């Protein structure tokens, strides 16, 4: 079974300004997410300063962290960076394992061979010396979370899973919540070989990934799950018929939990002699059910009801935090937008932290998201 370790604590950071030598840099203790730019001095003569608030962003940041690990056999170890701005290079115990030029996307690195049993050192170089930069405040550094993913050799990949939902009946205009309960069909392609079990349950609440210390782990199946509403098992695409669901909308953002279990290849029973096969890996995904219709003469309809989008365009920085914005801060901002009547949001102009869409699903926002808004220049 998979285990996800947060590596946000116990980093050391040093900033190498252009023209300065790497040797002799003074490292200080920092906690991720970290934006070194927001605490940099103002420079009224800074190159491209207008777009960056005249914060002196130029330089190369160095992040290092010790990691003690008891390596387990038949386990894949991956470092997951949710966002590093920009031009990052990662080494583990002196071995280069990869990086990412683009500063807004999540990336994972297989570090199974590079990690040792016992003490390890992770070193991340973040190069912000190239121009041009973006026309908005970018921040600089490891400004999102970092995790160590400990996965079985046979495992599910979240990016490969494809889920589709369909309400079996549409709703009438002005339908009451009582009438919004209806049958639905959920199809899921787990994106892997082997036998998979899919279980749909009521949500357990907002128990997502936590920014915790090194000793805090998130392990699937640790808490008692709610009763199963529908399930299916087999290879390839699975179909779940759900007899009674609530439709998702901005006014009633009802979510469910879809748990995928990758079963052992031999499908052997548990050691206690039961017929239940062993579970190799498990992945839980929040899902909702809704219908969307757009017509030229009548506009947008969600679940059969007319909807007017009332939203804002936001950037990812927040005041004195710069771009080092946690999931909790985003929750506060989205709740404030809800209070003034917003039901839609445009995420300008790049990929956001992975939990952002989950928050919008949970709180009831229609989302206009972008991977980028240009083709040349900048990040």
Tell me which of 152, 187, 213 is where a domain ends.
152
180 and 73, same domain (yes or no): no
Helix (H) or strand (E) run with residue 269 in it: none
Decide if 374 is inside a domain: no
d(CA 54, CA 33): 22
Residue 303 lies inside a defined structural domain of this protein: no
CA torsion 181-182-188-194 (nearest 10°) is: 100
Structural domain including 327 reads 308-369
Q: What is the pLDDT of residue 183?
A: 93
CATH number at residue 110: 2.60.120.260
Domain boundary residue, one of 263, 291, 319: 291
DSSP state for residue 278 in the 8-state scheme: P
pLDDT, residue 172, reads 45
Could you give the dihedral angle defined by the CA atoms of residues 8, 11, 17 and 21, in that order, rounded to the nearest 10 degrees?
-150
**Domain contains 185:** yes
**Token pair of 43, please?**
């420079």
How many structural domains compose the chain?
3
Q: Are residues 239 and 317 in the same domain?
A: no
136 and 171 in a common domain? no
Residue 299 lies in a domain: no
- What is the per-residue pLDDT for 225? 78
297 lies in some domain: no
| Whole-number pLDDT of residue 275 | 62
Same domain for 98 and 213, yes or no, is no
Both 162 and 147 in one domain: the answer is no
Residue 106 sits in the same domain as residue 163: no
Instruction: Show the tokens assigned to 345.
Output: 């949001």
Whether residue 296 lies inside any domain: the answer is no
Tokens found for residue 106:
């999540």
Residue with tokens 């990052």: 88
**Separation of alpha carbons 182 and 242, rounded Å:** 9
At residue 131's C-alpha, the angle toward residues 129 and 137, to 5°, is 90
Q: Is the peptide bond before 205 cis (omega within 30 degrees of 0)?
A: no
Q: Is residue 301 part of a domain?
A: no
Residues 140 and 224 in one domain: no
Residues 67 and 92 in one domain: yes
- Give bridge partners of residue 269 from the DSSP assignment: 277
- Residue 218 burial (C-beta neighbours within 10 Å; 0-12, 13-18, 19+): middle
The structure's pTM equals 0.89
Dihedral sign from CA coordinates of 346, 38, 330, 78: positive
Per run of 10 residues, the mean pLDDT along the chain (length 379 residues) is: 97 92 92 96 85 88 98 98 98 99 96 99 96 88 98 97 86 45 93 97 59 43 79 97 95 97 74 69 97 96 96 96 97 98 97 95 97 69
Given 112, 135, 152, the domain boundary residue is: 152
Q: Are 89 and 38 in contact (CB under 8 A)?
A: no
Same structural domain, 75 and 138: yes
Answer yes or no: is 298 within a domain: no
What local confidence, expressed as pLDDT, does residue 204 receive?
74
**How many other CB atoms sit within 10 Å of the CB of residue 255?**
18
* Sheet arrangement for strand 299-302: 292-295, 299-302, 305-306
- Asked whether residue 214 falls in the same domain as residue 280, the answer is yes
Let me know whether 267 and 193 are in one domain: yes
Question: Do both 166 and 100 map to the same domain?
Answer: no
351 closest CA partner among 320, 318, 315: 315
- For 131, 203, 229, 352, the CA distances from 225, given in Å and listed in that order, are 50, 9, 12, 29
């Amino acid at each position: 079974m998979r285990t996800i370790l947060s590596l946000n604590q116990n980093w050391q950071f040093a900033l190498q300004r252009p023209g300065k030598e790497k040797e002799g840099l003074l490292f200080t203790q920092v906690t991720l997410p970290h934006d070194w730019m927001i605490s940099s001095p103002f420079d009224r003569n800074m190159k491209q300063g207008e777009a960056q608030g005249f914060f002196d962003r130029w330089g190369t940041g160095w992040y290092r962290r010790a990691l003690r690990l008891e390596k387990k056999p038949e386990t894949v170890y991956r470092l997951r960076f949710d966002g590093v701005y920009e031009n990052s290079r990662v080494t583990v115990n002196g071995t280069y394992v990869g990086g990412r030029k683009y500063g807004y996307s999540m990336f994972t690195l297989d570090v199974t061979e590079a990690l040792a049993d016992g003490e390890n050192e992770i070193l991340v170089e973040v190069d912000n010396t190239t121009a041009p930069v973006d026309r908005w405040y970018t921040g600089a550094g490891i400004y999102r979370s970092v995790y160590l993913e400990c996965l079985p050799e046979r495992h599910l990949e979240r990016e490969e899973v494809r889920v589709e939902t369909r309400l079996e009946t549409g709703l009438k205009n002005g339908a009451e919540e009582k009438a919004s309960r209806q049958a639905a069909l959920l199809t899921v392609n787990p994106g892997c070989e082997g036998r998979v079990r899919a279980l749909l349950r009521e949500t357990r609440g907002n128990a997502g990934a936590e920014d915790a210390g090194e000793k805090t782990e998130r392990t699937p199946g640790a808490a008692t799950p709610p009763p199963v509403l529908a399930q299916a098992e087999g290879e390839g695409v699975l179909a779940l018929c759900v007899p009674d669901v609530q439709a998702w909308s901005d006014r009633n953002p009802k979510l469910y939990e879809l748990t995928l279990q990758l079963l052992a290849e031999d499908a052997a029973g548990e050691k206690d002699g039961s017929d239940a096969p062993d579970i190799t890996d498990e992945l839980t995904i929040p899902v909702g059910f809704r219908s969307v219709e757009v017509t030229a003469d009548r506009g947008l309809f969600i679940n059969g009801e007319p909807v007017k989008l009332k939203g804002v365009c936001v950037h990812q920085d927040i005041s004195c935090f710069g771009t080092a914005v946690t999931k909790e801060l985003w929750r506060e901002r989205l709740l404030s937008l809800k209070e003034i009547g917003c039901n839609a949001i445009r995420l300008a102009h790049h990929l956001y932290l992975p939990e952002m869409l989950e928050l919008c699903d949970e709180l009831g926002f229609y989302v206009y998201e972008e991977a980028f808004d240009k083709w040349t220049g900048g990040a």
